Amino acid sequence: MTLLFSAGYLLIRHIYLRDLRDGFSSQQKVTVRIEAALGLYEERLFDNEDSSIYPWIWKKSGTKGGEGKYFATNFRMIDVGVAIFLIALWSQGLI
């Protein structure tokens, strides 16, 4: 059972979720391109404000320079959850 659980975890974690992350990153890059084409990162384009409608840092979305760590954080949370689950099974003598 532990072997089956571990195999399932590895498949989900390293294939499915990684593919999901890569697809999301590609979508973010396309979104940034559309936003830039619309001028949402330009100052004073739609009003007299000294800053753009969208923060400049958002242009890095979907790249390694981006600030968001959504998937990395979730990967760590899943890893910790699996570790706790396996420790619980081990402490009950089930593995």
Alpha-carbon gap, residue 24 to 34, rounded angstroms: 15
Helix (H, G, I), strand (E, B) or coil at 47: coil
The reported pLDDT for the residue numbered 38 is 92
Q: Note down the domain range covering 86.
A: 2-91
CB atoms within 10 A of CB 1: 8
DSSP secondary structure string for all residues of 73-90: HHHHHHHHHHHHHHHHHH
- End-to-end Cα separation, the chain, in angstroms: 8
- pLDDT tens track for 34-51: 999 999 998 888 888 888
Distance, CA of 22 to CA of 63 (rounded, Å)? 10
For the chain, what is the domain count? Answer: 1
Helix (H, G, I), strand (E, B) or coil at 43: strand
Q: Is the pLDDT of residue 33 over 90?
A: yes
Q: What is the reported pLDDT for 90?
A: 83
What is residue 72's predicted lDDT score, i.e. its pLDDT? 81
